Amino acid sequence: NILNNKPLPIYGKGDNIRDWLWVEDHASAIDKIFSEGRFGEAYNVGGLNEWTNIELVRFLCRLMDEKLGRKPGESEKLITYVKDRAGHDKRYAIDATKLENELGWKPSITFE
């Protein structure tokens, strides 16, 4: 949408929080648990990379303005707030402390 100057819909105020995890990091965590984890034990895999929806969209807008040679703030003008979904979860996040403490795993990348 940013590339094509189309609206960027944001539910509610955009303050819902999400923990983002690169798919290859998720795969490496599963491999680590499979090869080194204790049998029968449960491990949570998280990205340690929590962002509100609006923070992430603004970050992407800044990156795209720079990449596309637009004036700073130009892409943010595309942000459009829409009615929030009923029952929309405020936060999706996982505490992956156990995985890091016991197996030494943590994500290799974040957005920044």
Q: Cα(first)–Cα(last) distance of the chain, in Å?
A: 21
Supply the pLDDT for residue 10. Answer: 96
| Cα within 13 Å of Cα(78), Cβ side | 19
Supply the pLDDT for residue 111. Answer: 80
How distant is the alpha carbon of residue 92 from its chain centre? 10
Q: Which long-range contacts (CB under 8 A, 24 or more apart) does 30-35 make?
A: 32/99, 32/103, 32/105, 33/99, 33/103, 33/105
Q: Is the pLDDT of residue 112 over 80?
A: no
For the stretch 50-83, pLDDT in tens is: 999 999 999 999 999 999 999 999 999 999 999 9
Q: Is the pLDDT of residue 32 over 80?
A: yes
Segment 2-29 shows an average pLDDT of 96
Supply the pLDDT for residue 1. Answer: 95
Q: What is the pTM of this model?
A: 0.82
Segment 40-50 shows an average pLDDT of 95
For the chain, how big is the Rg over CA atoms in Å?
A: 18
From residue 3, give the alpha-carbon distance in Å to each of 24, 62, 77, 92, 95: 26, 13, 13, 28, 35
For the stretch 81-100, pLDDT in tens is: 999 888 888 998 889 999 99
